Structure 1
Amino acid sequence: MNPLLSRLQPYPFERLKQLFAGVTPAANYSPISLGMGEPRHPTPAFIQDALRQNMGGLASYPATAGEPRLREAFAGWLARRYGVVVDAASQVLPVNGSREALFAFAQTVLDPTRPEPTVVCPNPFYQIYEGAAFLAGGQPYYAPSDPARNFAVDWEQVPEAVWARTQLLFVCSPGNPTGAVMPLEEWRKLFELSDRYGFAIASDECYSEIYFRDEAPLGSLQAAVALGRTDFKGLVAFTSLSKRSNVPGLRSGFVAGDAALLKAFLLYRTYHGSAMGPVVQAASIAAWGDESHVEENRRLYREKFAIVTPLVASVMKVALPDAGFYLWAEVPASMGLDDAAFARALYAQYNVTVLPGSYLARASDGHNPGAGRVRMALVADTAECEEAARRIQQFVRHHSA
């Protein structure tokens, strides 16, 4: 067996399953899950129609690079959303969801023969970053986050010796779990570091279309162009239809950026067998070409967060995020519970599932930055999320009395 597999840690939801083992939740409450970030708004009918109307594509092997019309759909969306111009032939590639692509990209760019190949990732973070680093023969470095800035990463705290051996940097903006969006000046700093030390930047932007204020989140390619980096040197952006279009089961997204990196990534993907099926390509073209369903999806989230956030904020320290569909709430010290105990007791007494924040982070300098917080995924309909928030109110008030 591959010895690197032994370095993988249990996934957060496996840990949650173990945490709840032996617990029978109160039968007088229906189950409500705020634990997993799985979009649950209805899939738009026109996307389903595009799938049904293109079933003939099942009879053909797909090209790993995707059909030209698909790549043009990616380029067209980037132009409309960010004002960014890319070459559809060399600067975009289809992927089977951003999770698959983030993992595969690390396998493409890391050179395990170099001393201490390092992958820098935020902390808290999406666990695929860590697993991708381990299985590519690298070592993750967990960049410290700053609670005073909504857990944005403090890049200044990463030692120069770490940057010097870094081969890949994972960035998540809007962030998971906090929803923080990186401003232009932080992108300037990261691009300068990439130029100086020669590492690639993988920018995970799967939450970019769910935001709560008038200004849409800044994208990495958009930042690069604003800073004169029109060749996107060292940068690849990752995005997906899962959250934007409520199609997590479609497994469809794309990457865009540095043509040289994408050429190598295409080679890896060709051997890996990562081609997107023709039926999914057809549905994806339809989805990327329409914004009305995205605007409606965003309206639903805005309505939901406007109702739920004040309810939770009445008993826990939490604020409306910049973007994304999570609330990152602090467990009140008066309850005398850590984040795991909070999640277990809430499940037992009110049948509501939340994810302990410590499961989304790693201890750094003796401190786990997710400890004492829980992540709530507001992915169900508004009524169900409101009911969950009211149960959380009761739970906190009861234990803080």
Structure 2
Amino acid sequence: MNPHLAELHPYPFEKLASLKQGVTPPANKPHIALSIGEPKHATPHFIQEALLRHLHGLTLYPTTKGLPELRQAIADWTCRRFGIPAGGVDAETEVLPVNGTREALFSLVQAVIDPVDKPIVIMPNPFYQIYEGAALLAGAEPYYLNTTAESGYLPDFDSVPEAIWQRCQLMFICSPGNPTGTVLTQADHLKLLALADKYDFVIASDECYTELYDDESNPPQGLLQSAYAVGNADFKRCVIFQSLSKRSNAPGLRSGFVAGDAEVLKNYFKYRTYHGCPMPVPTQHASIAAWNDEEHVKHNRQLYRDKFTAFIDILKDICDISRPPASFYIWLKTPISDTEFAQKLFAQQNITVLPGSYLSRDSGGINPGANHVRIALVAPIEECVDAARRIKEFLK
């Protein structure tokens, strides 16, 4: 067996299940799950209908590269969304459809990393655990870049030693962040682009939460947007990951894309032809419909805004709670250890939240996820309001 399998950590939800094992919550309070970032809003009908209209496509082997119409829809959306002139993203060479960002985040690392030079993959801490697992199985060493309250829950690139940059082959960024909802600015991107040029590494930007933001007039900046703004029109060393899971409430569709540096994608495409992961043709047609429509996304954002407003209004007088600029998470500081908080909240109020320490690693003498819990406001607004009231009672 691959020896690196032994290096993998249990997944956060395995740890959460163990934490709750043997605990009996009150039977008179229905369970409210706020632990998993799984959208619960309805998938728009027009996406479902597009899928059904093309079920005859199940008789066809899909190609790894996907339908030209899908790649063009993705390229056009990327240009519209990130202020890049029409045609500025080449649908033929700078876009690949993928079966959700999770499989792509993992597989890109396998294609990029050269394991012979003691490579490092830098990632924010806390982080989406796929980053770490992908690095380990590719034979790379993860380097955890703490994001703490002191740094505004953003990665401090200046804190990374030069010896680490010299071994870095790939860096993950996640903006808007999971679990913090914080957003990298163009200045942050430009600093990182300069470092990538100097030390020759690929920037993998996980942007699956960019379409869930609070201020309709101020959408989060994208990496390709920043690169294009400073003349990097071929997006050298830049790769972004996008998904319909959060944007369009279609996590079960397993549809997203990778876009950016044509040379990186050329080699990644070669990897994917062997990996065996083409997107089914009906899924591609449903995806075209989704990427071509923005009205359902605006409606989706408003649903989350309403939930944030209601949830925070109930709790703001009893705890330190802030509204993130983007995502659907609240990163809540806990008055006791995060694991004790999560276990007792379940035991007393039948609410499940995720301990922050399960999303991070000890680094530099601290675990930056400790004494926080991640609360995913994915349930219907009535459940979110009920949860906020129960959490308030629990905190009292």
Answer whether TM exceeds 0.5 for this pair.
yes
1:149 and 1:310 map into 2 onto residues whose CA distance is: 26
Instruction: After superposition, give the CA deviation of every residue in 1:155-195 in whole Å (9 maximum; x if it has no partner).
Output: 11111100000000000000000011101111111101101
Contact 1:74 1:92 in 2 (8 A): yes
Aligned to 1:83: 83
Aligned to 2:141: 139
- Letter paired with 1:12: P
Contact 1:331 1:342 in 2 (8 A): yes
How far does residue 79 in structure 1 lie from its aligned partner after superposition?
1.6
Aligned to 2:33: 33
1:355 and 1:122 map into 2 onto residues whose CA distance is: 18
Question: Is 1:318 the equivalent of 2:301?
Answer: no
Question: Is 1:57 the equivalent of 2:45?
Answer: no
- Letter paired with 2:207: E
Contact 1:124 1:370 in 2 (8 A): yes
Where 1:318 maps in the other structure, the secondary structure is coil
* 1:101-180 pair list within 5 angstroms: 101-114=104-117, 116-180=118-182
Where 2:187 maps in the other structure, the secondary structure is helix
Where 2:130 maps in the other structure, the secondary structure is helix
2:320 and 2:281 map into 1 onto residues whose CA distance is: 47
Aligned to 1:379: 378
Where 2:332 maps in the other structure, the secondary structure is strand
2:83 and 2:67 map into 1 onto residues whose CA distance is: 23
Where 1:255 maps in the other structure, the secondary structure is strand
How far does residue 28 in structure 1 lie from its aligned partner after superposition?
1.1
Aligned to 1:331: 334
Question: Is 1:95 the equivalent of 2:94?
Answer: no
Aligned to 1:270: 273
How far does residue 146 in structure 1 lie from its aligned partner after superposition?
3.4
How far does residue 317 in structure 1 lie from its aligned partner after superposition?
1.6
Aligned to 2:199: 197
How far does residue 149 in structure 1 lie from its aligned partner after superposition?
4.0
- Letter paired with 1:307: A
Contact 1:150 1:178 in 2 (8 A): no
2:319 and 2:6 map into 1 onto residues whose CA distance is: 38
Aligned to 2:303: 300
Where 2:115 maps in the other structure, the secondary structure is coil
How far does residue 322 in structure 1 lie from its aligned partner after superposition?
1.1
Q: Any gaps of 5 or more consecutive residues in structure 2?
A: none
2:375 and 2:180 map into 1 onto residues whose CA distance is: 10
1:171 and 1:117 map into 2 onto residues whose CA distance is: 17
Where 1:113 maps in the other structure, the secondary structure is helix
Where 2:368 maps in the other structure, the secondary structure is coil
- Letter paired with 1:83: G
Count of aligned residue pairs for this structure pair: 392
- Letter paired with 1:384: E
Aligned to 1:11: 11
Contact 1:144 1:155 in 2 (8 A): no
How far does residue 150 in structure 1 lie from its aligned partner after superposition?
3.1
* 1:348-367 pair list within 5 angstroms: 348-367=347-366
2:280 and 2:317 map into 1 onto residues whose CA distance is: 47
Where 2:205 maps in the other structure, the secondary structure is strand
How far does residue 231 in structure 1 lie from its aligned partner after superposition?
0.8
Instruction: After superposition, give the CA deviation of every residue in 1:298-325 in whole Å (9 maximum; x if it has no partner).
Output: 0101111111122233222221001000
2:205 and 2:59 map into 1 onto residues whose CA distance is: 34
Instruction: After superposition, give the CA deviation of every residue in 1:237-277 in whole Å (9 maximum; x if it has no partner).
Output: 00000000000000000011000000001000110001001
2:171 and 2:62 map into 1 onto residues whose CA distance is: 31
Q: Any gaps of 5 or more consecutive residues in structure 1?
A: none
Question: Is 1:290 the equivalent of 2:293?
Answer: yes
Instruction: After superposition, give the CA deviation of every residue in 1:196-224 in whole Å (9 maximum; x if it has no partner).
Output: 11110100000000000121000111011
- Letter paired with 2:248: S
Tell me how large the CA RMSD over aligned residues is. Answer: 0.8
Where 1:216 maps in the other structure, the secondary structure is coil
How far does residue 113 in structure 1 lie from its aligned partner after superposition?
1.0
Once structures 1 and 2 are overlaid, which stretch shifts more, 290-299 or 139-148?
A: 139-148
1:135 and 1:254 map into 2 onto residues whose CA distance is: 22
How far does residue 286 in structure 1 lie from its aligned partner after superposition?
0.4
Instruction: After superposition, give the CA deviation of every residue in 1:127-169 in whole Å (9 maximum; x if it has no partner).
Output: 1000000000001000122313431111111111000000000
Runs of 4+ residues over 4 Å off in structure 1: none
Aligned to 1:254: 257
Question: Is 1:281 the equivalent of 2:281?
Answer: no
